[in-house]
Amino acid sequence: MRKMKINNKHFFWKGLFKGAVLAVCLGLLGACGQSSTGTTASKNGDKHVHFLYNFSTNSLDPHVDSSYVPLRAGITETLVRLDEKKLTIAPWLAKSWEGEDGQNWTIHLRENITFQNGRKMDANAVKASLERALKESKAVQNALKISSIEADGYTLHITNTEPFPEFISELVNPNVSIIDVTEKDIVNKPVGTGPFTLTSFVPGSKLDLERYDDYWDGASKLDSVTFSFNEDANARSLALQSGQVDIVYRPEVESLETLQAEPHIKVESTETFRVHQMTMNMQRESLKDVHVRRAVDALIDRQEIVDTILLGYGEVAEGPFLPSLPFAPKYEKQPQSGSEAAVQYLQKAGYTLKDGKMQKDGKPLQFTLLTYSARADLPLIAQVFQSDAKRIGIDVKIQQIEIPEEYMASNRDWDLATYSNLTAPRGDAGYYLNATYHPKGALNFSGAEEPELTKIIDKLNQTVGQKERAVLAEQAADYVHDNAINSFVLHPSTIVAYNNEKVKNWVTTRSEYYMITNQLDVK
């Protein structure tokens, strides 16, 4: 394992949690159930897998759940899915579609599908599910731009409010999962079309799932699955080592060498469409100045963070999109970075260092920085930034929050936030740009409202050709870069560890959407 280069004070937060590891582990039996061996026995010899995830949820309503647990757990499915190898949209519950004008769509559904309660999934059922999603989620409304839906047997006719060539790709969104809306308790027991039926749900703790024998794409070979949650990365690693669980999503990076030394444990790492970013609240007075935003960006030592916090399991981010993606800009000229560059930017904004404090008009520059523990590296990034900012006289107060999307959407009393975002889960730039920088975007936590940028995104939404779309996506990303609207820290690898002597056919996906599938099995 690589030696840690950062001063120990950067890891004070982590030290507190490690000091509580024993208490956490003692609580694991309650949070995660019994060991995988014990769980299998409790299932009367059934073929069973216990999966431990890093984000908890208190609601399984697929139309609003930001953790996407119903889809990830194999309860629900969407009309189309992402082909991760080709980065194209592939049929799923829908078998085909047409929409040459980009506004009027005909979607043909598969005809051999039933919900887990036995009810047929026809066009009327899908229409009702889509209409509920539109009603429950403003974000879905803005993303889909639907003006009308008509159902005819197993065919849907959908009209958009405007030409929207990428409409079909938006149907990959887990919040557009198809469910039976006639069920009474969608929050606690949604009924979908996936390979597993929900049998019990303990909010914030776990789901118990059983195979749906009439699953349309072939019944799973597993009899049951436990999908549990623990937001402490070290506790997740220990749960796998001790045999309490079979698969762990995002184990603690520092534990990987120990896990890899175990002959029965396999560790997989894959490049994903995710970026860790420093979200900036542009509605805060100090951050309205682009020079202050550039100073924040300059203070982020990206390579050091990749090397010491992620131990190399990631790559430095120049922008929101992985450099390998066809719509990622090539940034020839990088902005200056480091403490000296940050001070220079702040001087341009009218700040001076006086009595050890960076100040302007006698008022010190201070930031409230939000972070959350479900992604273990984000609080550490916050600690590093806090320490580096202190060196140039900036006081940073770190505030721990639980559900970042909810907090940032409803509160504006913060300046910065370490946040992790999927930037191309549909294989296209449109999702991230619309969600994060359009004034109506569901993830526009920075409050960005830039007419020139909005114009580019609106044009992207109405453009069909992939080459033309790539050019527009680059223009939008360049605008974000040039105006320092948020800072991009790194692209983390997705890491999964599992019991290789038991688990069969696990696939670590780039989109992070497809986890518990009908192909998952035990040896």
Tokens of 170: 């938006």
Q: What is the pLDDT of residue 44?
A: 55
Q: Is the pTM of this model over 0.85?
A: no
What fold, for 8-54+195-270+495-522?
Answer: D-Maltodextrin-Binding Protein; domain 2 (3.40.190)
Range in 26-35, 322-331, 373-382, 467-476 with the lowest mean pLDDT: 26-35
With cut-offs at 50, 70 and 90, classify the pLDDT of residue 27.
Answer: very low
Computed on alpha carbons and rounded to an integer, the radius of gyration of the chain in Å comes to 23
* Residue 38 reports pLDDT greater than 50: no
Order the strands of the 314-316 sheet from edge to edge.
314-316, 487-492, 274-280, 416-422, 366-371, 395-400
Contact 31, 151 (CB under 8 A): no
CATH classification number, 80-176, choose in 3.40.190.10, 2.30.30.30, 1.10.10.10, 3.40.50.261? 3.40.190.10
User: Could you identify the residue written with the tokens 């790194």?
Assistant: 490
Residue 316's beta-bridge partner residues?
A: 490
**Burial state string for 311-346 with b = 16 or more CB within 10 A and e = fewer than 16:** eebbbbbbbbbbeebebbbeeeeeeebeeebbbebb
Q: What is the pLDDT of residue 449?
A: 94
Tokens of 42: 């409790």
- Return all residues near 229 (Cβ < 8 A) that are at least 6 apart: 31, 52, 53, 54, 55, 56, 57, 204, 205, 206
pLDDT tens digit sequence for 177-194? 999 999 999 999 999 999
CATH 3.40.190.10 domain locations along the chain:
8-54+195-270+495-522, 80-176
Higher pLDDT, residue 196 or 318:
196
Q: What is the pLDDT of residue 45?
A: 65
Tell me: domain 274-492, CATH 3.10.105.10, correct? yes
What torsion, rounded to 10 degrees, do the Cα atoms 406, 238, 312, 398 define?
Answer: 40
Higher pLDDT, residue 512 or 87:
512
Q: How far apart are CA 31 and CA 11, in angstroms?
A: 26
